[in-house]
Amino acid sequence: MTKFIKNKLFALVLGVMVMALGVVAPSFTNTAQAAAATTKTVYVDVERNVFSQSPILEPVKVTLDDSETILDATVQAAATQDIDVDGSSSYVSAFQDSSPIPDNKYTFYNRVNSITNGVVFRTDLPNQPIITDNDYLREKEYDGISGWMFTVNDSLTEDNGTYYTAGTSLAEVPDNAVIRWEFTAAMGADLGLADSAYLPTAVDEYGYYDWSTAVYTAPFFTRADKSELIRKIADADTNDPDYQAALTALQTLQISQDDVDAAAAAL
């Protein structure tokens, strides 16, 4: 009898433990699932305003797991408009684009040519080639220092001063952040970006740009923050009568902040 009671007690205790574990385990699983399901919504566009051309990628909103990266968000956004992205885990070198760069459309040619003593436009430097790609707008396609830059909410850096890269986790960017890709032929000075452009002024004996001669180049104009305009365009009905005006404001390189704000408010 004593043995039977002890066995019954053991079974009862075991049953309670199993029930307790049964209750706790789903709670743990749900917590893990909730953590894994954290998402981030961002807005993305791809611009070639330095050549007075319309965006390669018009503004689009995407939502991803926040463990994904800025590059992942960019690729997902570009795919919505059937645009390929060429790059690595932390760097983008090209966006699919078959439109040729228009002749005489780069406003700052004379300025960049003067600052760099013409070296970035030289085509006789095998180690610093200026390329042509008929299917993509690619780095070094206009001059030897051209390429893609991006800002997050119009900033190159996080709040702590760390520079964003394409590999930055979305957990590090604010919700509803605007990831704005822009082509530059002057390391951002021609986009109105500060603290980004150090332009070479000579070539070394091996035919490379001599970066020891680089000079800091201040922004060529006062840049307007188009973050809210980009959000509004992405969220707008394309049939809205003010939609095209908003796109025009987006692709106008040297536009005032007041005009940008007015275009956003109209949507």
Q: Which long-range contacts (CB under 8 A, 24 or more apart) does 155-163 make?
A: 156/188, 156/193, 156/195, 156/196
- Name the region of 163 (left: φ>0; alpha: ψ -120 to 50; beta: rest): beta
Burial class (CB in 10 A: 0-12, 13-18, 19+), 261: middle
Amino acid residing at 217? T
Q: Are 150 and 230 in contact (CB under 8 A)?
A: no
**pLDDT of the residue at 104:** 85
Planar angle of CA 119, 124, 128, nearest 5 degrees: 65
Q: Domain residue spans in the chain?
A: 1-37, 39-223
Structure tokens, 144: 């030897």
**pLDDT of the residue at 77:** 99
**pLDDT of the residue at 30:** 42
CA separation (Å) from 68 to 36, 64, 65, 127, 179? Answer: 11, 7, 6, 35, 14
**pLDDT of the residue at 89:** 83
Angle between helix axes 227-235 and 257-266 (nearest 10 degrees) is 20
Structure tokens, 119: 């070296």
Q: Are 207 and 128 in contact (CB under 8 A)?
A: yes
Q: Are 215 and 199 in contact (CB under 8 A)?
A: yes
Alpha-carbon distance 187 to 112, whole Å?
A: 10
Residue 235, number of CB atoms within 10 A of its CB = 12
| β-pairing verdict for 57-65 and 147-152 | unpaired
Q: Are 90 and 166 in contact (CB under 8 A)?
A: yes
Kindly give the confidence (pLDDT) of every residue in the chain, 267 residues in length, as a single tens digit, with 9 standing for 90 and above. Answer: 433 333 333 333 334 333 333 333 333 334 444 445 599 999 999 999 999 999 999 999 999 999 999 999 999 999 999 999 998 888 999 999 999 998 888 999 999 999 999 999 999 999 999 999 999 999 999 999 999 999 999 999 999 999 999 999 999 999 999 999 999 999 999 999 999 999 999 999 999 999 999 999 999 999 999 999 999 999 999 999 999 999 999 999 999 999 999 999 999
Alpha-carbon distance 42 to 46, whole Å?
A: 14
Alpha-carbon distance 242 to 147, whole Å?
A: 31
**pLDDT of the residue at 37:** 58
Answer positive or negative: Cα dihedral of 218, 86, 59, 49: positive
| β-pairing verdict for 147-152 and 177-184 | antiparallel
Alpha-carbon distance 238 to 151, whole Å?
A: 25
Nearest to 118 by CA among 108, 110, 126: 110
Reduced to 3 states (helix: H, G, I; strand: E, B; else coil), residue 182 is strand
